[in-house]
Structure 1
Amino acid sequence: MKYAIIEASGKQFWVEPGRFYDFNSLNVEPGDKIALTRVLLINDNGNITVGKPCLDNVKVEATVLGHLRGQKVTVYKMQPKKKTRKKQGHRTNLTRLLIDNIIN
């Protein structure tokens, strides 16, 4: 099984070829091919390589499937004994990427 741990959008993701993942909004168009170069670890059928902190000459190729919005998060603030209530909702903008290949 081939997988990699990458850093993108301020988070770390365990990615495998052929699967899609949702990242924080990226400034790319649907259908574009991008390369993610901040690869922290790669496992190539039991051969594990760890970077310090990143691996050189290793990249993850991905295709942008589209942009979407995440689940709604409800924020409710209140001040006890003051009759102050505030309810807000928030949805994060996401970009869905299909992992095509891990090149090492």
Structure 2
Amino acid sequence: MSNPEPAVLTPEAVPCCPPITSAELPEQDAVRMAAMFKALSDPVRLRLFSKIASHPGGEACVCDIQDVGVSQPTVSHHLKKLREAGLLTSERRGTWVYYKVAPSVVAGMAALLDLNR
């Protein structure tokens, strides 16, 4: 059995699924959510995501978040993976790139795992 390719999401396509205990998760939602959780399963990516999510104003310049113990090209690689999974959006301003957590991502992931609903 082959694993399906991770879904590449645009910021507008961020799933907002009902709690996992409310009904069986449809395959399409499972594939999208698995891609997000897979992207966050790397410690460096999780730290980068956390730095961006907790940064004042809800966005962070790559220049402010690259101190995670890996080289700059590796930081860029991890940020690309987070963007491809639909977790981050980015905007170039001059020579720097600014990142934001994609709209409703954290709430959508939390709602999916809310076992008390």
Higher strand fraction (1 or 2): 1
TM-score tier after normalising by the smaller chain length:
under 0.3
Taking structure 1 as the reference length, what is the TM-score of the superposition? 0.25
Taking structure 2 as the reference length, what is the TM-score of the superposition? 0.24
